[in-house]
Amino acid sequence: MSDSTSNKPASKGRRRFLIDSARTACGVGLLGLGIGIYSKSASSMAPMAIRPPGALDEADFLASCTRCGLCVRDCPYNILKLADVGDDVPTGTPYFMARTDPCEMCEDIPCIPVCPTGALDHALTNINDARMGLAVVVDQETCIAFLGLRCEVCFNVCPIRGDAITLDYRHNERSGKHALFIPIVHSDACTGCGLCERACILDEAAIKIFPMHLAKGELGKHYRLGWEKKNEAGESLVTPDQEHRYNLPEGMRYDHTGEGLIFDQANAPAMTTPDAAMQETPFSSNPLDTLKKGIQEAD
């Protein structure tokens, strides 16, 4: 045991070192854990905060944005802000709020080339290709177009008017004689600039910009739209349908390519008018007769 006594000072020092290291590692580790957990909640963006044009998807953006504010400085309309600590946007990162300060869609996109890291993608040179978010008509109950009133403000302020937002004319069931001018947003053209949201005349906008992942649905990867595939191939990709053989009275044909039922008038001189043809069908013109017939037969 004489060895252990002679080693005592050294082992004391080593013990001290190990304990101090463990203490530091423990404290720093706990802090790291805290930051990590905080980052989880701090990284969840408020849905109303929109990234500048060309922003990478959120995970890559948070890995590459140095929070320097150069995009903020070079925005000629001063719409961009850097998030403060405790905001619903990760600290220091740039965003804008469409309702108050939408993106004016500058043609030269000055906020992008100053970004030193490419967190705003330098490859984006045409502002119409930007996808900051997507405008969504969120409330059909308050949007006055759905109430049958003329508004179309969102349609008219849209910088890609007629492509990103179009008007769909529908019958006004309430009045019975007017049209509804319904705004429809098209994701293939909408940049998410937010000019429509700012312009919306309601107290709370009925059209809002949402980040893409909130605004869009996504079709299952296994879906193939038959009609599109058919167009691409130029023909049906499955065995053609068996042509249905109708048991039609003489002088009538069925066209499978879209015409439907055809009265071959040349071959059927007796049926000169559609009225006459109707009388030739086995069905009554009054659907009630068919129902009554069923009841009578049951009796």
Partner 1 sequence: MARYTVLGAEAIRKKGWWQAHKWLILRRISQIGILLLFMLGPWAGIWILKGNLSSSLLFDVVPMTDPFVFLQMLATGYGAIASEAVTGALIILAFYLLFGGRLFCSWVCPVNLVTDASFWLRRRLDIRTGANFLRNTKYWMLGMVLLVSAVSGTMVYELINPVSILHRGILFGMGVGWLVIAGIFLFDVFVAKRGWCTHLCPMGAFYGLLGKVSPIRVRADDRSKCDDCAECFVVCPEPQIIPAILKGEKKGIPPVILSGECTNCGRCIDICGKEVFHFGLRFDQSKAALSKQEKNAALLKQKL
Please report, as ranges, the residues that interact with partner 1 according to CB under 8 A: 20-21, 23-25, 27-29, 31-32, 35-36, 38-39, 42-43, 59-60, 62-70, 72-73, 81-82, 84-87, 90-92, 114-118, 122
Closest approach of partner 1 to the CB of residue 116, in Å: 4
**What's the chain's length in residues?**
299
Choose between 62 and 199: whose C-beta lies nearer to partner 1: 62
Residue with tokens 């119409």: 128
Closest approach of partner 1 to the CB of residue 4, in Å: 27
Choose between 66 and 272: whose C-beta lies nearer to partner 1: 66
Closest approach of partner 1 to the CB of residue 131, in Å: 18
* Whether the Cβ atoms of residue 117 and residue 199 lie closer than 8 Å to each other: no
With residue 182 as reference, give the H or E element that holds it.
strand 179-185
With residue 17 as reference, give the H or E element that holds it.
helix 8-42
Closest approach of partner 1 to the CB of residue 68, in Å: 3
Choose between 35 and 291: whose C-beta lies nearer to partner 1: 35
Closest approach of partner 1 to the CB of residue 3, in Å: 30
DSSP helix/strand/coil, 213: helix
* Whether the Cβ atoms of residue 127 and residue 107 lie closer than 8 Å to each other: yes
DSSP helix/strand/coil, 11: helix
Query: How many CB atoms are located within 10 Å of the residue 105 CB?
Result: 18
β-pairing verdict for 49-50 and 94-97? antiparallel
Closest approach of partner 1 to the CB of residue 122, in Å: 6
Choose between 69 and 148: whose C-beta lies nearer to partner 1: 69
Residue 230: both structure tokens together: 């058919």
Choose between 61 and 155: whose C-beta lies nearer to partner 1: 61
DSSP helix/strand/coil, 15: helix
Choose between 59 and 225: whose C-beta lies nearer to partner 1: 59
Phi, psi for residue 280 in degrees, rounded to 5: -75, -20
